[in-house]
Structure 1
Amino acid sequence: MNWYQTVFELIDMRSFSNLWFWIALAVMWSSASHWVIGVPFDTILRARRVGGQSEIDLEDLMRINTNRLLYIGRVSGLWLLALACFVLTGLAIVGFVYGIEFAQAVFMLLFPMSLIGLMSLSTAARIQEEDARGELLCKRLIRHRIWTQVIGMISIFVTSLWGMFQNFNSSPIG
């Protein structure tokens, strides 16, 4: 028995039965929920509760992040959208038509995050359009975080169901 065969028998390399996939999924959604358009959620809460310098810091961070995000969207948004659609379509076809589990797993990670990216772009445009400050800015960011968490819960649920289905299908029947 060679070394590679031993390693692959010891560590299951299929995505949905691999502990590292589930750790990556949890870390990805935890980070997406914590960083609201590039701003840590504790900064939003501090600005809402304390005000003063914390609120000024939040407004400065949001001005920087919204300008950056909207600039990227204006300059290369169409190319990024085309690339994302190409990659997601390729992963969906390879994963679900040809049955490659790794492509399914990557699709399950990237598709919901692409929705979060579009939602972030929309929220950034709305914040800049309204010139949101203070309580209105906090309200927009908290609403964005709640929707991120909703998408994350649905994504984790669907990924868990699909992962269990894949694991049941690939397990040897007694």
Structure 2
Amino acid sequence: MNTILRFGEMKAEQFIQGVNNNWIVYSPLPYAKQHSSGIDDLVIINGLNTKEIVDADLDVTIDSQYDYVYSISTDNKLKLSFDKSKHTDKSSVVEALKCVAITYALGNLKPNGNYYKVIVRNSLGEEIHRTTPMTLDKVDKVISTFDDTRDVGTSGFLSYQIVHDYIVE
């Protein structure tokens, strides 16, 4: 079974400047089948001219026929590499890719008891927080804490998504 996710729905964890390329590291693909980059081709980045590679090649000169190359290793973190002139900082690449969709294979999902995760998104749909697994009685505390501590000078609204927690087998 496959699922679709936008880059804007994922957390951009790190921006790295290499010798030849820059690359951005995103949080793990939620509930994804374990990947082995450059081998399985189970991840498709829609609308971009890309090629899947191994992690070791993130800073190798990119063939001119591709705009981006990406790697997903066993940690399921997506690493997207590009020529240094394409994006010079984290905000540039995050803004350029926020609406680009990723299609990937889900693992075999087994419900993790009565545990749930809360995903908090800003008004642009970008994930700003994801909790660890918790019971439903703690979910309302997380939501009320976010509502009570939110900086009121920031425009927009927060949305909360409550999802069952799964163990990927």
Larger Rg: 1
Scaled by the length of structure 2, the TM-score of the pair is: 0.26
Scaled by the length of structure 1, the TM-score of the pair is: 0.25
Which has the larger helix fraction?
1
